[in-house]
A and B are shown apart, each in its own frame.
Chain A
Amino acid sequence: MADILLHLIQGFAIAFEPLNLLLIILGCTIGLFIGAMPGLGSVNGVAILLPLTFLVPPTGAIIFLAAIYYGAMYGGAISSIMLGIPGASTAVATTFDGRPLAKLGMADKALTAAALASFVGGTISVVLFTFVAPPLAHVALRFGAPEEFSLMMLAFATFVGLGGDDIPKTIFSIAIGLVFAAVGLDIISGEPRLVFGDIPGFMHGINFLVLAIGIYGIGEMLWTVEENYKAGGKSMMSDAVITVQRTISNLKELLSTWKTALMGSFLGYFVGILPAAGATPGSLMAYGIAKQISKEPDKFGKGAVDGVVAPEAANNAASTGSMLPMLTLGIPGSPTTAILLGGMVIWGLEPGPRLFTDHADFVWGLIASLYAANLFAVIINIAFIPAFIWVLKLPFTLLAPIIFVLCIIGGYAPTQDMHDVWLMIAFGIVGYLMRKLDYPLAPAVLAIVLGPLAEPAMRQSLLISGGEFSIFFTRPFSAPIMIAALILLALPLLKPLLRLVNGKKAKA
């Protein structure tokens, strides 16, 4: 313990060197805007800026990239709330309640909640990271395919009931999402699936962002255009004001969400640690659980502050968590950490079990920089909120074309393939029609995010076990997760049953 504190103090000495401090602030600011741009996201931001970091020493370079990653986690919430377009898959769950809040004229509240929840999540996870890293690395190592699948089942299970009351429509939505998730190369058989006669664009599968920007970005735009027409051109993307008085009352209200923030932080951190899971399942699960434990679950999806706090705390906690397997095992927990990993290799900082002993300066400098990055990111973020609100006040006729262009760029940027842009526009129209027909969209997005993680894990497990499903129930880590998932899945069925039993008792 004293050892760790000593290391941490040395780390702070490194992080607070003037150059490193400057890089943290610069990185957080760049990250915030990269994260706020739909489609750009931290993966692309870090990849693009990687070669620029030669100008500074290795530790500074990695601190800079980590600060971008961190800032982007904060920024992702901004476009989710203001425009309803998740900037990255990690911010999907934030749209579920962030967007309705903005539509109710409470964008300022949602943005403040997101920033503060991110700060809580980030700080708790860095503290956890500082003190309980090595034993958890061991757990992460034991996590194989069966454990991964059980975790994905748990993520799906936390979302039961998310789609609303129309069960057939929810099932349809999940199913279509899973079909989209199946497009592309199947790594188990090595064959391309659903590529429609070898259309090259389908070979890399349907990128989550293409679907999300399509149905949320383009779809939302079409929806608002219609509303605007009906309202005689007076509709706004979001109606919001910001005053000191409002901010103070917002902060007071936010204090009551501390339980949700804590839940999201711990959950996000532990899910983030698991290799291959990353921040997206973590934030989705946090949202699902926040709804399950809420006293007013009916408010979720219509503008519940807890619905913003939970996923934002979780995705920031998970982004720190996912650095753990990267540093200790050399296994990235998310695509962005994969690029960070590449960056470290370039500078001769070989991640792996020996990094903590061989390059202690670097590791502790990085950990200390995360504390600092958290603080700066929340300050910068809150400072910019009035500016974001101001942008929302622009007339819709001006905002709409800008958003449309942002969507197109966001669809094109990750793969630089026009195929994805056409696909995105098609999804936008389909998303608009689905919404008109009252189909819930969230389950489809959930399916396309979790499907590609769950499917190979299940098939690898069954290959190992020779087709026996018992593999999910006989392993020490997998069994409890799977059982928890099944209980959660069964809960909606049990509730009416319990009510029936209780009702009878009451009568008797």
Chain B
Amino acid sequence: MIKTKQQLFGLGIAMGLGVAAIGLPQAAQSAWEPKKPVQFVVMAGKGGGADKAVRFMQSIIAKNKLAPVPITPINKPGGSGAEALVYMKGKKGDDYTLMFTLNSFYTTPLRQPALGVKVEDFTPIMRMAEDTFCLWVNSDRKDINNVDDFVKAAKAKGNGWIMAGTGKASEDNLLTDFLNTTYGLKMKYVPYKGGGKVAKELAGNNADSTVNNPSEQLGFFEAGKTKPLACFTPARIDLFKDAPTFKELGKDFVYFMQRTVVGAPGMSKDAEAYYQGLFKKVFESSEWQGYMKKKALQGDSLSADALMNYWKKQRDVHKGMLMKMGAIKG
């Protein structure tokens, strides 16, 4: 019996050495490596913008063999991210669960305090990009060529002006509220499922305006069906040189949507460092850089404490916006 144990022990050492020898090149960079498939939680359903981005990152990792194990996406679309957040909360201390988040990462916990989650709980891995927003109208509206025209037309129609967006208290809703208060409009906000659907409603003249991400309208824009009037960015977007920023128009307001990889609460420091390294590589890959350029995504990569500080700041900004909107109290 003792002999068997010793044999097993010896075998273990030999195997350990073998593994260490094979893993040596990577081991020089970071000691910890995942030993089983990593779950990548998506806060939205299959086929949505976030889901596509996750599957894209998964394929970059697989194609360039950046990780020794598969990264498997899993969709938790319920309740504007509430389901995903509760799921992550239950994965406390787990080194094998990541999540891809948008701005519902701030707004959902603010609107549903009963969930008992806050941004400070999560492990900051890497901000992969910031998506931008523009104000769009259908190209058939020859009378609308700038924000002034837009304000005039929207005012004339009062609450008969339809602004299509992606859900109550979503990014689109916050921007619609901003436009309504800033320009004294009464646009009616109609929520649809997903940004692609919203973009289509505008192109088909079933809505008067939208505040889509560039990537959602790009196809219709290139086909000459829709046009951007102005963007909520600090500087003009290369793809839409003619559209000014709201800043240029004298409104001190920029708005982004984060696209960030988050780790489970209480993830070990080693795993945190590993995933930060992994997603840094994904960020720097030519595929991701090309994707960002094509989708008019902005923002540098951001991780660790800097990312946590960014989250806290954004959370406070969103708290103010939601309070103004009346979606939450104090």
Contacts and interface: CB of A to CB of B under 8 A. Distances in A.
Interface in A326-340: 329-332, 335, 337-339
B218 A142 contact: no
B200 to A, nearest CB: 5
A345 B83 CA distance: 27
A185 B47 contact: no
Interface in B164-189: 167-170, 188
A480 interface: no
Contacts of A205: 78
Contacts of B58: 51
B313 interface: no
Interface string B186-222: 0010111100110111011110000000000011101
Contacts of B74: 416
B254 interface: no
A142 to B, nearest CB: 5
B219 A329 contact: yes
A161 interface: no
Contact of B82 (A43, A54, A200, A335): A200
Given A188-B191, A329-B200, A352-B218, A346 B59 contact: yes
B223 interface: yes
A105 interface: no
Given A54-B62, A335-B47, A184 B79 contact: yes
A198 B204 contact: no
A185 B196 contact: no
Nearest to B71: A51
B219 A204 contact: no
Contacts of B196: 330-332
A342 interface: yes
Contacts of A188: 168, 191
B56 A342 contact: yes
B115 interface: yes
Nearest to B53: A342
Nearest to A352: B219
Nearest to B75: A415
Interface string B48-63: 1001100110110011
Contact of A346 (B46, B55, B159): B55
Given A335-B46, A353-B222, A204 B76 contact: yes
Contacts of B168: 187-191
A339 B56 CA distance: 11
A366 B199 CA distance: 25
A185 B197 contact: no
A203 B223 CA distance: 38
Interface residues of B, number: 57
Interface in B74-90: 74-80, 82-83, 86-87
A51 B59 contact: yes
Given A50-B59, A352-B218, A353-B220, A332 B200 contact: no
Contacts of B280: none
B200 A51 contact: no
Contact of A192 (B76, B79, B218): B79
Interface stretch (A166-174, A249-257, A456-464): A456-464
Given A275-B200, A331-B200, A460 B190 contact: yes
Contacts of A351: 219
A172 to B, nearest CB: 28
A203 B204 contact: no
A354 interface: yes
Nearest to A331: B200
Given A43-B46, A141-B204, A185 B78 contact: yes
A350 interface: yes
Contacts of A85: none
B125 interface: no
B234 to A, nearest CB: 26
- Tell me which of B77, B170, B290 has the highest count of chain A C-beta atoms within 10 A of its own C-beta: B77
A47 B40 CA distance: 14
A185 B80 contact: yes
Contacts of A342: 47, 51-52, 55-56
B162 interface: yes
A204 B46 contact: no
Interface string A192-219: 1001001011111100000000000000
Given A335-B46, A460-B192, A54 B83 contact: no
B92 interface: no
B47 A192 contact: no
Contact of B219 (A191, A202, A203, A350): A350
Contacts of B201: 144-145
Contacts of B192: 145, 187, 456, 460
B281 interface: no
Given A190-B191, A415-B75, A339 B219 contact: no
Contact of B47 (A145, A332, A460): A332
A350 B51 CA distance: 16
Contact of B205 (A142, A192, A345): A142
A331 B222 CA distance: 15
Contacts of A141: 200, 203-204
Given A352-B219, A464-B162, A203 B83 contact: yes
A51 B193 contact: no
A256 B239 CA distance: 57
A338 B48 CA distance: 8
A399 interface: no
A276 B203 CA distance: 16
Contacts of B56: 342, 345-346
B59 A464 contact: no
A338 B52 CA distance: 9
Nearest to B58: A51
A258 interface: no
A203 B169 CA distance: 17
A40 interface: no
A30 interface: no
A341 interface: yes
Which 3 pairs across A and B sit closest by C-beta, in order of nearness?
Answer: A338-B47, A352-B219, A190-B168
25 contacts: A47-B46, A50-B59, A51-B59, A141-B204, A142-B206, A185-B82, A187-B191, A192-B78, A192-B79, A198-B86, A198-B114, A200-B83, A200-B86, A203-B86, A204-B77, A204-B79, A329-B203, A330-B199, A330-B219, A332-B47, A338-B51, A346-B56, A352-B222, A354-B222, A463-B188
Given A203-B78, A346-B55, A460-B190, 10 more contacts: A47-B55, A144-B201, A145-B192, A190-B80, A191-B168, A201-B83, A329-B220, A335-B47, A342-B51, A352-B222
